[in-house]
Amino acid sequence: MATLLERGRAGKITAEMEAVAAREGIEPERIRHGVENGTIVIVSGHGRSEYVTGIGNGLRTKVNASIGTSSDLADLKMELEKASVAQAAGADTLMELSTAGDLDEIRRRVLEAVSLPVGNVPLYQASSESAVRFGSNLEMTASFLFELVERQAADGIGFMAIHCGVNRLTLQTLSSQGGRSGGLVSRGGAFMSAWMSHHDCENPLYEQFDRLIEILHEYDVVLSLGNGMRAGATADATDKAQIQELLINAQLADRARQAGVQAMLEGPGHIPIDEIEANVILEKRLSGGKPFYMLGPITTDIAPGHDHITAAIGSAWAAAYGTDFICYVTPAEHLGLPYPEDVRQGVMAARIAAHVGDMIKLGRRQKDLEMGRARRSLDWEAQFALALDPDGARSVRDMRPGSESDGCSMCGDQCALKVADSAIAPACP
């Protein structure tokens, strides 16, 4: 069966393209053209057509929320709650990244719990289950890895972060630069590096890339080329190893598209603000404008407990410069597995950042204009309706004195709008 990319190349506007166009408020032909030329990907999942997400040029910046168990905390009920919280808070996609428990059951239950497209990282399950099946995660076989990729795709995973660019050349580059201040922090990148070193052989995801693409083609899964060399400290941002992997991933993305598989590229990581624009330019130039999925970026290393804020700062800049898709960061980042409230805060911070970026990238400022007018008019219902988090805004107001009046407890009877109302010209139409 033809993939969505192949149908777009044939000039067909699919139901998925029409759904994305309607949600974005643009013409379906623009979506089809973007899919055809690789600047837009559409994520859904095998047998999961009830909700699709468009990511790429000219579209609203999308937000991903990641959940998943660990060996220290494997609670399926909590993961399902986190999935529901992420969807309710407005995430556009979900990544299921469990590494402990019955991983097939967890994945399938999460897919049942949400309508959002769901992504994952195949290496996580491969590493975890190889430790049980073969006695060590380093004894994973290539056949087992590809078997898992197909099983996950058949279940309905819509996009996969796959670490194809961690190959011998990338590791040589990392070694020649003398390592890193913050070490290697990508779980997928670290595991594949250790596996390659243990077996003294090439990454099978790179060496057998055509085999991987055959599976993704069969289930129409979007390939998200993982950033195994992403920086885990701002001191390591934009180093040689990261750029070497980016070069390889850009080439592989072209090969995937030639085979009819949609592709996007993942980016770092921890980045100082003054390097964000360069990272976006590099990805867009080297990949030919393919969608860019940025993890954060976290802009300072010294704010544990508040990294949803450090990431929101970076995400706003990244979106403004052209990043298409951002992965949220929760307050628990660097400290522990997030709880449901951490997920909600992470999604909201990322959504705010995405909107701030879209005000620049897409010129989308109409709602901000309307909010300014609603505030001048002290129209609280209009303000709640325009807010990114209406329930949260209403709750804050209702918990404070004066909520029954047209003013608020910030100024009380010294409300600037009321004081100035008779002295300043009416609002612009």
Return the minimum-mean-pLDDT range out of 132-146, 151-165, 261-275, 411-425.
Answer: 411-425
* Residue 282 confidence (pLDDT): 97
Distance, in Å, from the CA atom of 12 to the CA atom of 321, rounded to the nearest integer, reads 31
Contact 281, 31 (CB under 8 A): no
SS3 of residue 162 by DSSP: strand
The backbone region for 268, taken as left when phi is positive above 0, alpha when psi lies in -120 to 50, beta otherwise, is beta
Count of Cβ atoms closer than 10 Å to residue 429 Cβ: 4
Kindly list the domain boundaries of the chain, sorted by start residue.
38-361, 366-420
Contact 272, 234 (CB under 8 A): yes
* Residue 428 confidence (pLDDT): 60
Q: Is the pLDDT of residue 107 over 90?
A: yes
**Sequence-ordered alpha helix ranges (H) in 307-365:** 307-321, 340-361
Q: What is the mean pLDDT of the chain?
A: 95
Shortest CA distance to 222 belongs to which of 307, 169, 143, 293?
293
* Residue 413 confidence (pLDDT): 80
Section 106-111 average pLDDT: 98
Contact 292, 321 (CB under 8 A): no
* Residue 404 confidence (pLDDT): 75
Distance, in Å, from the CA atom of 421 to the CA atom of 323, rounded to the nearest integer, reads 41
CATH code of the region 38-361? 3.20.20.540
Q: Is the pLDDT of residue 96 over 60?
A: yes
**What are 336-364's pLDDT values in tens digits?**
999 999 999 999 999 999 999 999 999 99
Contact 10, 224 (CB under 8 A): no
Taking the CA of residue 83 as centre, how many other CA atoms within 13 Å lie in the half-sphere pointing to its CB? 27
Section 256-266 average pLDDT: 98
Q: How confident is the model at residue 426 (pLDDT cuts 50, 70, 90)?
A: low
Contact 16, 4 (CB under 8 A): yes
* Residue 407 confidence (pLDDT): 78
SS3 of residue 281 by DSSP: helix
Distance, in Å, from the CA atom of 257 to the CA atom of 56, rounded to the nearest integer, reads 15
Distance, in Å, from the CA atom of 164 to the CA atom of 144, rounded to the nearest integer, reads 16
Distance, in Å, from the CA atom of 142 to the CA atom of 49, rounded to the nearest integer, reads 31
Sign of the torsion formed by the C-alpha atoms of 37, 43, 46 and 47: negative
Q: What is the pTM of this model?
A: 0.95
* Residue 351 confidence (pLDDT): 98
Q: How confident is the model at residue 24 (pLDDT cuts 50, 70, 90)?
A: very high
The backbone region for 145, taken as left when phi is positive above 0, alpha when psi lies in -120 to 50, beta otherwise, is alpha
Q: How far is CA 166 from CA 118, 146, 206, 214, in A?
A: 24, 17, 8, 20
Q: How confident is the model at residue 429 (pLDDT cuts 50, 70, 90)?
A: low
* Higher pLDDT, residue 69 or 408: 69
**What are 217-226's pLDDT values in tens digits?**
999 999 999 9
**What are 306-316's pLDDT values in tens digits?**
999 999 999 99
Q: How far is CA 168 from CA 142, 206, 253, in A?
A: 16, 10, 18
Q: Is the pLDDT of residue 425 over 70?
A: no
Distance, in Å, from the CA atom of 298 to the CA atom of 315, rounded to the nearest integer, reads 8
> How much of the chain exceeds pLDDT 70, in percent?
98
SS3 of residue 177 by DSSP: coil
Q: Annotate 165-176 with b (16+ C-beta within 10 A) or e (fewer).
A: bbbeebbebbee
Section 158-175 average pLDDT: 97
* Residue 199 confidence (pLDDT): 97
Q: How confident is the model at residue 423 (pLDDT cuts 50, 70, 90)?
A: low
Q: Is the pLDDT of residue 49 over 80?
A: no
**What are 60-85's pLDDT values in tens digits?**
999 999 999 999 999 999 999 999 99
Section 187-215 average pLDDT: 97
Q: Annotate 178-205 with b (16+ C-beta within 10 A) or e (fewer).
A: eebebebbbbbbbbbbebbeeeeeebbb
Count of Cβ atoms closer than 10 Å to residue 420 Cβ: 10
Q: Is the pLDDT of residue 296 over 90?
A: no
Q: Annotate 327-344 with b (16+ C-beta within 10 A) or e (fewer).
A: bbbbbbbeeebbbbebbb
Distance, in Å, from the CA atom of 272 to the CA atom of 275, rounded to the nearest integer, reads 6
Q: Is the pLDDT of residue 319 over 80?
A: yes
State both tokens at 288: 């030919």
